[in-house]
Structure 1
Amino acid sequence: MVVPTAPAAPPDLFQRIEASFLRQGLMQHLGARLVRVEPGLCEVALPYSERVNQQQGGFHGGAMGALADIAGGYAAMTVVAADSEVTTVEYKINFLAGFKGGELRAIGRVARAGKRIIVTTAEVLHLDASGRQSACALMQQTIVPVPKTY
C-alpha cells in the first residue's frame, strides 16, 4: 500500500514567515518561537515563564490568545503573495483548561482562503515536562491580506 505524503513546503516559506515573526516585539518579549511552517499551517511554541503567567501562576489567557492569533495569522500568510502581509480583523477564543509549567503549542490552520478574507483556526495545546499534550484553547479568526510595508 502506498501512503500519500503531504507536498513539501517551498524552501523559502519558513524563512519568509520567520523574517516577519522575528519583527513581532511581543512574541520576542514573551519568548515564543516558530516551530513549523507549511502551506496553510503554522505552529508556534511558548514556554512557561513569569512573562506569561497570571496571578494564580497559570498561563495568562492573553498570552494564549496572542499565541493563537500569531499561529493563525502566519498560517494565513503562507497562502498570500510573498509581497503581502496579513492582519487580524477579529478572533474568538474558547479557553478549555488552565495549565502551569511546560509550554504551549498553537497550531494555526487555514480553513478557507479567499481573495479578501481568510478564515483560520488555531488549537492551543499544553505540553507538560513528559511531553503529554492536553487541549488548552480553540480559536477561530478572520484575516485580511495587507500590503507589506517594510
Structure 2
Amino acid sequence: MELTFDLAEKFLAAQPFSVLLGARLTAFGDGGATLELDIRDDLKQQNGFLHGGVLGYAADNAITFAAGTALGPEVLTGGFTISYLRPGAGAVLRAEAKVAHAGSRQATCTCELSTIDGDGKATLCAVAQGTVIAARR
C-alpha cells in the first residue's frame, strides 16, 4: 500500500500523543515529511524554552513519516539520535525530515528542527538522524 498525504494525515490524527501536542503534517512525499506544532507555554521547560522531549518527539515522528514514503505505512522507529544546537524559542516548531537511504526493509533519515518566530524567521535548533524499519506482518 502506498502512503499518501491523506493517509499519512489520518495516521497522525490516530496518534493520541500527537493530537495532544497539536502536531500537523505540512508536507509529505518524495522522500520527505514536515511536521509542525505550535509552541505553547505548557510545552516549555523551566527556563522558558521548548522542552527537549518535544523536540525529540518531533524528530522521531517526522523521521518515521519520511521513511514511510519509501517503506510504506507499516513502519517503526529503530532508533534515533538528536543534537540540540540552541534553545528552542519562537511560535512554531518545524521538523523537516528526509530519507538519506532506503532499502526494502530499512531507511535512514535525517531531520532538521527549526523554530519559527512571529515574523516567519526560522532558527535551526536541533538536528537528528534515525533508522526506521518496515514492520510488515
| TM-score for the superposition, normalised by structure 2 | 0.93
1:77-92 maps to which residues of 2 (within 5 A)? 77-81=68-72, 84-92=73-81
Match of 1:44 among 35, 49, 69: 35
Distance, in Å, in 2 between the alignment partners of 1:136 and 1:67 is: 12
Task: Letter of the 2:47 partner, please give it.
Answer: Q
The count of aligned residue pairs is: 136
SS at match of 1:106: strand
Distance, in Å, in 1 between the alignment partners of 2:105 and 2:119 is: 42
Task: Letter of the 1:85 partner, please give it.
Answer: E
Match of residue 62 from structure 1: 53
* Identity value in percent: 33
How far is 1:23 from its partner?
A: 1.1
Unaligned runs of 5+ in 1: 1-9
The structure with more radius of gyration: 1
RMSD over equivalenced CA pairs, Å = 1.6
Bigger helix fraction: 2
How far is 1:97 from its partner?
A: 0.8
Unaligned runs of 5+ in 2: none
How far is 1:100 from its partner?
A: 2.6
Distance, in Å, in 1 between the alignment partners of 2:33 and 2:117 is: 21
Match of residue 142 from structure 1: 131
| TM-score for the superposition, normalised by structure 1 | 0.85
